[in-house]
A = this chain, B = another copy of it.
Amino acid sequence: MLPPEAFLPTQRRPARPPIPSTMTATLDPRLEAKIRTAYAAQGPARLLGLNIVSLAPGRCSMELPFSEAVSQHHGYYHGGIISTLGDSVGGAAGCTRAGIDDGIVAVEFKINFLAPAVGEKLVGHAEVVRAGRQLVITTIDIVSVKDGVEKQVALMQQTLAVLAGMEPAAQWGV
């Protein structure tokens, strides 16, 4: 196990303010139902316990509880698992800006690990910074929660492609 001194203190910065209400008009309930159903059907969600905490236009938060399955050999959350959370929450935020029958796929992402991640859960907060017809760009903050205290552990930028009309809501029973 690496001693805590192996890592350096992380500079905390204030969170972004909430999106103005003009941007956060309630999400279309059918779109919300489609996104929740689709994400619940994914292997990692079922297997790792990844779940959607909140969903609004251009935003999504997801949680991942700690388990042996998500830790690496030092007892920290595994970097690939942190990325899985980030990739998922960014994709779901992107879906809120796509059409009800559109699909979304990740084109690429980049993640910086800021501090070792320990604690009872990880929370990812994703925000759409640009929504186009073909491409959606998101930014994602990932925080760990240990004994109720939050610490930012990773920062991500992600590019998504919109597959227009390629994933009909009907296939999810919506």
Contact = CB atoms under 8 A, between A and B. Distances in A.
Interface of A: 1-3, 6-11, 13-20, 23, 38-39, 41-44, 47, 58, 67-73, 78-81, 83-88, 91, 97, 103, 105-116, 127-135, 137, 139, 152, 155, 157, 159, 161, 163, 166-167, 171
Given A58-B11, A84-B84, A157 B69 contact: no
Contacts of A110: 108-111, 157
A140 B155 CA distance: 12
A99 to B, nearest CB: 14
Contacts of A163: 2, 6
B73 A38 contact: yes
Given A14-B19, A78-B44, A80-B84, A2 B167 contact: yes
